[in-house]
Amino acid sequence: VIEVWIQVQRKWMYLEGIFVSGDIRSQLPEEAKKFDEKNKLFKTIMTDAYRDPLIKKQCHITTRLADLSAIFEGLERCQKSLNDYLDSKRNAFPRFFFISDDELLSILGSAEPSAIQEHMIKMFDNISSLRLIKVSDTVTQAQAMISAEKEEM
């Protein structure tokens, strides 16, 4: 029971940071809904453990292992859907293969076009940043590429 509990906590901590963000929630509404269901059950278990912190007693609750296993399986499905989503973005723009899942999530989860700046050098050889200009309230364009040597194109 304790091993499953620890696995659930690790997976929940990773996914909670992703699905709490409004941008990712809006892009993956079904997965966010599934996460919310598992999140609610996990928080109920954690609240119960907080109120009665005797670990042996918590582990011997008859439904505890089944609940934790169900949460873990649900979180695994959420992560698989998230990975499929990231793969679809990478297939649409192959340069995303050069950055980690967390870095890609930070780009996709941000409404700010400037979020890509810190990852440019990883995706494009010797391009350290872009000069972005605001064309209108809703449109931002890249005006120039800036190399690591500060050359502009």
Is the domain defined by 2-106 classed in CATH 1.20.140.100?
yes
pTM of the model: 0.80
> For the chain, where do the domains classified as CATH 1.20.140.100 start and end?
2-106
Encode pLDDT of 49-83 as tens digits: 999 999 999 999 999 999 999 999 999 999 999 99
DSSP notation for 51-64: HS--HHHHHTSTTH
- Would you say 35 and 79 are in contact if contact means Cβ atoms under 8 Å apart? no
CA distances from 48 to 9, 37, 72, 120 (A): 15, 17, 18, 46
Give the pLDDT confidence score for residue 63 in this predicted structure: 95
Encode pLDDT of 84-125 as tens digits: 999 999 999 999 999 999 899 888 887 788 888 889 999 999
- Would you say 131 and 142 are in contact if contact means Cβ atoms under 8 Å apart? yes
